[in-house]
């Protein structure tokens, strides 16, 4: 992006929050409102959840998404301001990310596929802990993990659920994935692993009939899974735009020094 004149067609989309809807109406009047199919950049108004929804909607188009916070946390969003929007977008820094592809087979043998920008998580469905076997690139690394669940996170998603589960923050250019247990019971001291971004993770559910487990790729859930494979999909690329000096790389780094 070389200059404000290069960006003329914006599409504004908003979450269902009143402040997001009002912001969309004002910005559309001021800057025009192209269709998402015709826009050079899609401007998403809402919170991080809505940003993920918008990114998922444009998985195939690869259209750049510029978010402005009209939600709560807004880690993936830029600050909301209505002035000089074209110039801000023209000067924005790009973050190119690749999602995880989840292939989940349920206990009936049906196969379900989904993409995750943040993480793929496996979670117990009942009061009983899940029992999981974890393999990496075809080699069993953990024969049995008793836990509430486990997740595989992208660098972009490492500051989300992964961080709340005490997983590591992964720099965006680290070419690594975080494998993090959720409330591990046995082995109690296992804290997870950092894996190459080329790794293929297989999680098999032990005693699936007695201890049912669900698998979730961002907001796509599969119940009663028997096995789940997770790997980065390099064939799919997403572009997020961040204000100059506030890149996603900088945000991820700064999060490691936050109190």
Predicted local distance difference test score (pLDDT) of residue 208: 95
| The model's pTM | 0.87
Which neighbouring-strand residues pair with 56? none
Which 3 state secondary structure label does DSSP give 197? coil
**Residue 2 pLDDT grade (very low, low, confident, very high; cuts 50, 70, 90):** very low
The pLDDT tens digits of the residues spanning 148-183 come to 999 999 998 998 999 999 999 998 888 999 999 999
When pLDDT is averaged across residues 188-200 and rounded to a whole number, the result is 95
DSSP 32: -
The pLDDT tens digits of the residues spanning 58-96 come to 988 889 999 999 988 788 899 999 999 999 999 999 999
Exposed/middle/buried for residue 14 (C-beta within 10 Å: 0-12, 13-18, 19+): buried
Report whether pLDDT(12) > 90. yes
Catalytic-residue membership of 48: yes
Predicted local distance difference test score (pLDDT) of residue 117: 94
Catalytic residue among 37, 48, 209, 233: 48
Predicted local distance difference test score (pLDDT) of residue 259: 63
CA terminus-to-terminus distance, the chain? 35
Give residue for tokens 């401007």.
43
Give residue for tokens 């004149």.
5
* Closest alpha carbon to 218 in 166, 169, 173, 151: 151
Domains located in the chain, CATH noted: 4-97+237-255 (3.40.50.10330), 100-232 (2.60.200.30)
When pLDDT is averaged across residues 42-67 and rounded to a whole number, the result is 93
When pLDDT is averaged across residues 202-211 and rounded to a whole number, the result is 96
Predicted local distance difference test score (pLDDT) of residue 187: 93
What is the β-pairing status of strands 100-106 and 225-232?
Answer: antiparallel
């Amino acid at each position: 992006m070389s200059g404000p004149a290069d960006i003329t067609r914006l599409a504004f989309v908003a979450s269902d929050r009143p402040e997001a809807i009002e912001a969309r109406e004002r910005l559309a009047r001021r800057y025009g409102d192209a269709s998402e199919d015709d826009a050079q950049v899609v401007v998403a108004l809402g919170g991080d959840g809505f940003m993920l929804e918008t990114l998922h909607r444009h998985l195939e188009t690869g259209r750049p998404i510029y978010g402005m916070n009209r939600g709560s946390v807004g880690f993936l969003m830029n600050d909301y301001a209505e002035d000089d929007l074209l110039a801000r977008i023209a000067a924005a820094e790009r973050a190119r990310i690749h999602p995880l592809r989840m292939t989940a087979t349920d206990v009936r043998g049906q196969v379900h596929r989904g993409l995750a920008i943040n993480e793929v998580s496996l979670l117990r469905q009942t009061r009983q802990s899940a029992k999981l076997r974890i393999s990496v690139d075809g080699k069993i690394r953990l024969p049995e993990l008793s836990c509430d669940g486990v997740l595989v996170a992208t660098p972009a998603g490492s500051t989300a659920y992964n961080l709340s589960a005490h997983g590591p923050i992964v720099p965006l250019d680290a070419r690594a994935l975080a494998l993090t247990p959720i409330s591990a019971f046995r082995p109690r001291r296992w804290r997870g692993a950092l894996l190459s971004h080329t790794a293929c993770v297989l999680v098999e559910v032990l005693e699936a009939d007695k201890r049912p487990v669900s698998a979730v790729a961002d907001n796509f859930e599969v119940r009663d899974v028997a096995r789940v494979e997770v790997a980065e999909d390099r064939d799919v690329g997403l572009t997020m735009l961040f204000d100059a000096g506030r890149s996603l790389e900088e945000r991820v780094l700064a999060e490691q020094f936050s109190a």
